[in-house]
A = this chain, B = another copy of it.
């Protein structure tokens, strides 16, 4: 949150270059910087707040009654998300250092939508994108084995983000993946190393995954019917 307007301009240009539809929203954006683990406050009045990730990653978490953390949503660059002051949505945190968000006060958004029907439609689109993200995660969590979950997760990451297809940059720790997939950290590790040994994926560094055999990930991979 330092005073560096030149940096703000830089991120503003990134925001404008992104492919989402809300171009007319850009001038309203407030560029916000967050540290790793820092909470994005939801004290934003009754109309809530819209955000768009420019750089970094953001997670939406709840704490279960048994103390476990669950990650309900994972937002990457170009993703929009809405925060209301209702407690049930859980806490929102920056995942990585130097996470940059565009922030739009809900009241301002409502004003714009009221005047501009086309913008209102785009705003609906964005809401439906959040829904699609959530249902995508449902499909991932619906897998039986941990291999399925991890595999689906990698595929979904490959679909998002701007990296070239087949090369996934994991934006989060193994612990985050575990809480996102509702499995233990150890299981995530084992699944990754096993997929690696089977030649389905290859690791370039701990946080970079190359997808070698995409078909094996898309089909059920509990089978060993894919060893070359």
Interface positions of A (Cβ within 8 A of B): 62, 64-66, 68, 70, 72-73, 82, 89, 110, 113-115, 117, 120-121, 123-124, 127-128, 130-131, 134-135, 137-139, 141-144, 182, 218-220, 222
Contacts and interface: CB of A to CB of B under 8 A. Distances in A.
Contact of A139 (B62, B82, B113, B114): B62
B134 A182 contact: no
A192 B64 CA distance: 21
Given A65-B219, A124-B127, A144 B113 contact: no
Given A65-B220, A73-B135, A182 B141 contact: yes
B139 A70 contact: yes
Nearest to A183: B144
Q: How many copies does the complex hold?
A: 2
Nearest to A84: B128
Contacts of A62: 139
A131 B127 contact: yes
Contacts of A222: 66
Contact of A72 (B65, B89, B135, B218): B135
